[in-house]
Amino acid sequence: MDKDIAVLKDIALFRNLTPEKIQRIMDILRKVTFSANEIIMREGDIGDTIYIILEGTVEVAKSLVIDDTDNEESGKNKVFARLDGKQRAVFGEIALLEELRRTASVKAVTDCVMYEMKKDDFLKVAEEDYELGYRILLNLGRIVSARLRRADEDTVKLTTALSIMLHEA
């Protein structure tokens, strides 16, 4: 159990939590496995679960065709990221904040072992321990903010490249 707490302590979502607070989180985490090529979440599905990769690699892909989320085989998905257990990557985090459709599909590239945390379980713990809920949501805000900043930078790069191409044409 101490090994699991040490693993979670290194994850950005649980940064600055005491071992006791991490143990409270351990109580609501469930270890799950996915086989290579298995779809973990589909773009467009309603999400209520966050995942933490312990072992393995996943690809995060976004549909390039509006209203066509079932197109893994058609080649119309753009892989935007590869995440793995070495990074202790977290995905599906928006599900802790609101019930919206998934913004991307995630597929296991290799066999994967992960922790999953359900939104309702997290909210129950957060209501029982306000400090724990506050710290996790603060960390989550930082994670989402960093991802938004990267997306903004990517948008500027793409817009600049498109402007140059159109100007030259």
CATH of the domain at 29: 2.60.120.10
pLDDT per residue as tens digits for the range 7-49:
888 898 999 999 999 999 999 999 999 999 999 999 999 999 9
CA-to-CA distance for 144 and 96, rounded, in angstroms? 12
Quick one: CA dihedral 70, 73, 79, 83, positive or negative?
A: positive
Point out the least confidently predicted range of 21-35, 59-73, 124-138.
Answer: 59-73
Q: How many domains does the chain have?
A: 1
User: Structural domain of residue 134, as residue ranges?
Assistant: 2-168
| Structure confidence at residue 5 (pLDDT) | 85
Helices 130-168 + 19-26 axis angle, to 10: 80
pLDDT per residue as tens digits for the range 72-124:
455 577 888 899 999 889 999 888 888 888 989 999 999 999 999 999 999 99
CA-to-CA distance for 145 and 90, rounded, in angstroms? 14
pLDDT band at 70 (very low <50, low <70, confident <90, very high): low
Is pLDDT of 67 > 70? no
Find the length of the chain.
169
Amino acid at 21: K
- Rounded to a whole number of angstroms, the CA Rg of the chain reads 18
| Structure confidence at residue 65 (pLDDT) | 67
